[in-house]
Amino acid sequence: MSSLELRKYKAVTVQAKLAGIKLFFKYCIEEGFLTKDPVKNIPFPEVEDKQPRYLQRDELFQLRQLVKGKVEGRAVIEVLYATGVRLMEFVEIKKEDINWSERIITIPKGKRKKERIV
């Protein structure tokens, strides 16, 4: 794990790789290939909890100015801003997912593959 830190991997990447290694050794113990867990005492690195960054009013205004007169561009900006959908969720939206009369969008495969409505 120290080689990952030396290569300047972020803590979240090291944490994900360590989780995979720990899971592998847990499997090896359950299947009887090993009797001791060699990674049991390796702690997960601390990951800083990032807070989301929101657009300021002037930034939103600048975005709107960039797409002024472009209906499709404006629609993209407004949906992303108003709903908070992730970019990949937005890309996956189909016409059938939009209920115009109720003004809702169904995100069929959101985070963790869960459906949600925005």
**What pLDDT does residue 110 have?**
61
Q: How many angstroms separate the Cα of 114 from the Cα of each of 78, 86, 89, 104? A: 23, 13, 11, 16
**What pLDDT does residue 55 have?**
84
Q: Render pLDDT for 15-38 as a digit per residue (tens, 0 to 9).
A: 899 999 999 999 999 999 999 999
Q: How many angstroms separate the Cα of 68 from the Cα of each of 15, 59, 114? A: 43, 14, 34
Q: How many angstroms separate the Cα of 59 from the Cα of each of 79, 104, 109? A: 16, 26, 29
**What pLDDT does residue 10 have?**
82
Q: Render pLDDT for 44-69 as a digit per residue (tens, 0 to 9).
A: 888 888 787 888 899 989 989 999 89
Contacts of residue 17, Cβ cutoff 8 Å, sequence gap at least 6 = 1, 4, 9
**What pLDDT does residue 36 have?**
93
What 3-state DSSP class applies to 11? helix
* Own/partner pairs, 75-83, CB within 8 angstroms, 24+ separation: 79/105, 81/55, 83/118
Task: Read off the pTM.
Answer: 0.52
| pLDDT surpassing 80 at residue 74 | yes
Q: How many helices (H) and strands (E) does the chain have?
A: 5, 3
The more confidently predicted of residues 62 and 88 is: 62
Here the tokens at position 41 are: 């005492």
